[in-house]
Structure 1
């Protein structure tokens, strides 16, 4: 078989790219060493959330959420899609001012949201601790179950002719990839879409792993209605170094609750760490005290792939011929997967992109073009 695009990685990004490229009639092969949707995809909370820290992030997340809504409109059940919305919590007047700014920005881009005073906040979520100032409700945000979504996207890609091979890519060659078993695969283009593991193939990438912990509880239906996120989460998500925790609580359609989040830079050991886990849970119970009495079923970790400027790398490697990138999404890989795939596919087939592509091009990083020709 002649391969137009060989994709390294069958997480949510690789699966979405395979689906988008196969839909354009390209011959696609996906190489994955583990199960589909494993790695960071399986470790993700599955939130589909509009983020507005900068215009490029807002453009990418809002575009992708529109694509997710189109996908869910066909049949939401297989993805466990739930349009629960996000409730950003303001603990004090300073954070309430942030919520107001966020409302202005999102509203200016046509994204429905509702500023809440304390009374309205507790009407929506009575389990929150007393004394909070208010919040912002973003109505169209949603959640999915990431491993299932990745598997569904990859299955649709296969129905369009894509092939999937179980194996580990050891190195990129000038004409494809070298597998760990010594075999070689030839392809016109190689797309590296395996998150933080992309550093093993391309150590020059401006990406650092960020380890995170997640806890899932037993079933407590109706306890929480929205995804709850503290406005202080933004500081944690974009910290430049060190360990941090932030409050992020998500109701699953099963009635279970997912509790996050933690961030540890450059930690690649996936073992659960009791100290950071305890810190995360104490912080979560400071927002929802009833969490202290719930049964936790399991906890696990994953590695986010964080780029140095907070935006993903989507497009051609500027100095490695026929190597393409879809990585560096950090904690927004689930949210932005569908848009990333469309932007990637449009570039490969030579079509215009739906949103300006420049902020996400790998060529924005000068170091990618300095030593590798």
Structure 2
């Protein structure tokens, strides 16, 4: 058992707190990871605001990279000294999704066997089963993916959530390939990662859609060939104009709202693909003419964590980054201290920050 600093959300809507947390000795398959960097994701803000659950207090942070420090007695997947990116899709290998050869849908993913606590013994709920705004955290061994130890932790840690979600939405879920036309609605971190993924896959027309010109400029820097400010024009019409009146082969909705999903639905080509990677809230509903759903064919897909396999995808994308073929470093807008998380939440809406990254 040891005590470290950690950032918690104690109650709905309240400012986060930097406090002391207790790391227990690892369970049989648990590992203690010394965190080097952790991105500030919108999901952490959703936890603080009660948008995920009411299991307070939460230990926030989940887009992280660090070094394995201690391991449980039966750990074989990693060893002390390994540089790892943490993931929340630690596949079980035995559920019905895994058995049918679709482990990216794993319905029984692993988390640490033991619980981290406050000093008074109050159990913490780690964000996405990780909890990494802290000097050290406790996770299951399969939540750790070994990558190139020469990589910048602040950059590659972002694969732990939003950046992987966007890359995977384009490449894994959307199946973007050479010569495709792609439209991405919503140019935050996830949407821009989808744009970078589409460029990496060889798409020739990549249309970024947002209501903020600052975000659209960032999207161009990550590979968008065209930008559309949907606050002043109809994005469906413009996407059709830019694709010979057909619509895009793949449209990625990275907002998670009914109105933008409807735009995505009508902005695709016949037999095209819509990918929903933006996360809606529980009360949202959508109505579409069933004849239009039938008549347009193609596929309407949801992308969970970019339908990724961390052991397959993380090392590959880290290698592409170190080779200079995938500009992951452009997603790191600022590097901050562990006491600046609430300030980073405040910056999320100004259109200039893709990711603030806590460095430890």
Shared fold, TM over 0.5: no
Higher relative contact order (CA 8 A, sep 6+): 1
More helix by share: 1
